[in-house]
Structure 1
């Protein structure tokens, strides 16, 4: 009897691994990664917020209070974003002279300071830039594809948010009755996946905050010492934080933007930016390695290798999912003392 129970548990565990494996890799062809991420983020936020709310209200209603608060916050965020976008379209887009002048100056400075090998591929003025952009959009039908993908992404993210809230209500710590061995095995897999997701996301937020702080010090502290001021500094800081949420490549994107903008101002600004970014990149390498090794016990080269494999297999979505999947794999292997 004991042997039969042990065999049943092993079969259920193997089946749970297979089902989770199929579900995780079905995310890519079904384009459900935004839903996956939004659901897990909502779930984690509700759990963290519930702990704080329980100090004020009874534990039974703390999770409902957390969900209501996040729902109101999400609605306000959508309303504010929509109003800002409408305001930009109705007011800022009516007077683009300032933007055109700034862009023209940047293009003119780039033509003067950059190598001819680079400037031959750059537009001469803002009108040529607009024409190239319109022709490219027309040839590739980018706007139609972008609109369709954006609508799908927003819809799946909202569905993921709802699912994350619903699942958080089910996992309220109460004793679960009439569970089967397969259910228990699946819950074990999902628990490990949730912990891996939690560790990766919060580790990457810490990394992004460090990158943003160092970038802010450079833009608002070091460059003014040399009497240099980069345009769009606040936008660059925001870009650094949001791109920093993408492991490794996010930092490269923000650094490239800073270097190109600095080079468009003057060769001196470009060299100062490049020198600082090289020094900071070495510092960030150790900071990032320390944060990730403490959270998911993975070295930077391991994460980079996983991202390269996933990018070649699944594209840009694979780059985003690779750290989470890799952290989950290592967590499962450690759980059974395989590594």
Structure 2
């Protein structure tokens, strides 16, 4: 069945020509965002009744990518007909070493990007931004990235104006987004740049586009993937199983079979905050996740996580985040709940 066309209800004129977007594959990349982009562009073109995006597959074919029959254009061939923009996917990196290994592996791609660029735009997400930065495409521009790798990125690419507080940043022809699923932020930004806002909202609803739900930045130091130290990763899992009222630096140190002073020094070195505060944030992050995952009352959440009482939880949560539990739910949970509710099945549906 043909997709019904959406009628633009804005005075903004649509671009007369589609923008050619190179979907860049490379060995070791996470290609899900490229497939999502290709499908997204297809749906937008059909809904608008005219081509706004013309995707072209480029790069080295990778057996792990699952790319179907048609092979992508080799880099040398693609250089003969430059695209107006290139979408550069990320790769998995947990440490600075992972970044360096991939930069060494992708010297050919980086050199190609350096030559391909201005005025072409480079849109990158997750650790794809490291490749864009290595190619000089982000020099002098504001860019974001997965926040726990901000420090090594700053050291390696000082010419980039890194600001990892944002999920997505646009600066000139370049667009960067954080996180392994940052391609959704890129696609939303591109849609808003090409069609009237109310039409973009209709397409979003029709495609059930997910919404970012990053949560409060105060919890970043206790995110699992933010821990370079494997012992702190183990400790997070253990603390999550403990009652909040029973949690102390001594009990945490005993789990790792080390002296409390040694654990305190390790946590301070790795996270730049005190051990007791770090442990408390693990439990409060569980509170935050519970607030967003359900409509359970604070009393039930407090009991389930082992706080002495709900007033203790409320005071600690407000001190850490500057928000009440209800304010937190409203600010960080509304998008998640609206997306989940859009696909909710009811009896008889």
Q: TM-score range by the shorter chain?
A: under 0.3
| Higher strand fraction (1 or 2) | 2
In our comparison, the structure showing a higher alpha carbon Rg is: 1
TM-score normalised to the size of structure 2? Answer: 0.24
Which of 1 and 2 has higher RCO (CA within 8 Å, sep 6+)? Answer: 1
TM-score w.r.t. the length of structure 1 is: 0.24
Question: If each structure's helix is expressed as a fraction of its own residues, which one has the higher value?
Answer: 1
